[in-house]
Amino acid sequence: MKYSILKLDKNTQSFTCGRGPRGCYRITLNPNFEDFACHVADFIRYENSHGRKIRFKPRSFDPSDALKRVQDSGSVLRPNDPLFVVHSTTLTAYEKIIADGQLKSTSQLRKEGIVQNAIGFLPLGEPPDYLDYVMFAGFDKYGAASSCEIVVNSHLRGKPCFDANIPYQPQARMYFDARKIIADGLAVRDGTHTIKVYGALPLEGYLLRTVFAGDVALPTGEEHWTPVLFTEAANVFFFKKLEQKH
């Protein structure tokens, strides 16, 4: 993969990513999106650092303003950086994570002989280097980050399933201190993920809480959990426990 595509589309809610022409990776951004400049600068810098050039659509787009405005430093906190990030996993994987005391990337797990499917790798056309990172989704009281549960559901099904309202069995939803990860210089910004960490992330000092299905009650009137329902319930539970702690 020698190049990636950055496409501008005012009809996109914020941004989307996926497989582009000839299997290349493509990110589609709404130019009116609040964090537009950050996504542009981060995407260009990350892709360039991995030997991939950027093709813009439209070709007339000039990213120089975004590159000037956004600092090229993963350890600098930005105004819109979330306080917390989430990484969800299966109960089986969670047991190993706790035993190891750290979250490991797909590449690291494979080096250790552990079979680890990268659910988003083929359908989204993600570059091979994405396997070298642990991915996190950002959220706050107003952002759900149900994408983590979609990934877990896909792992449980053994194939990609992007339906956030389909029945599934919640597993382990892990909440981390995003500001500390960034301040400690561990965060990598690629323009698509809130942050990701290369290789592995120690749990000590970063993991705040893990929420399981048994910690929350299924909403009244619902017959089964869905990625969206569990995300909402788990987030409420997390914030409640956080407030009690402080």
Q: What are 172-183's pLDDT values in tens digits?
A: 999 999 999 999
pLDDT exceeds 60 at position 121: no
Q: What percent of the chain has pLDDT over 90?
A: 66
Quick one: pLDDT band at residue 120, thresholds 50, 70, 90? low
pLDDT band (50, 70, 90) for residue 140:
low
Determine the pLDDT at residue 160: 81
Give how far Cα 18 sits from Cα of 5, 44, 56, 110, 120, Å: 10, 16, 15, 24, 9
Model pTM score: 0.92
Name the average pLDDT for the chain.
89
- Looking at residue 52, what is its pLDDT? 95
Instruction: Round to whole Å and give the CA distance between 234 and 224.
Output: 15
The CA-atom distances, in angstroms, between 11 and each of 8, 15, 34, 213 are 9, 10, 14, 36
Rounded to an integer, what distance in angstroms lies between the CA atom of residue 178 and that of residue 82?
6
137: pLDDT strictly greater than 70: yes
pLDDT band at 157 (very low <50, low <70, confident <90, very high): confident
Q: How far apart are CA 51 and CA 216, in angstroms?
A: 45
Q: What is the C-alpha to C-alpha distance for residues 229 and 153, in angstroms, rounded to an integer?
A: 13
d(CA 3, CA 78) in angstroms, rounded, equals: 28
**Which pLDDT band, with edges at 50, 70 and 90, does 142 fall under?**
very low
| C-alpha–C-alpha distance, residues 173 and 35, integer Å | 26
The yes-or-no verdict on residue 122 having pLDDT over 80 is no
Q: What secondary structure letter does DSSP report for 218?
A: P
The pLDDT tens digits of the residues spanning 46-95 come to: 999 999 999 999 999 999 999 999 988 778 899 889 899 999 999 999 99
* Percent composition of the chain: helix, strand, coil (DSSP 3-state, to 5): 35, 25, 40
Instruction: Tell me which amino acid residue 13 is.
Output: Q
Residue 170 reports pLDDT greater than 50: yes
The pLDDT confidence band at residue 245, using thresholds 50, 70 and 90, is confident
Average pLDDT over residues 223-246: 91
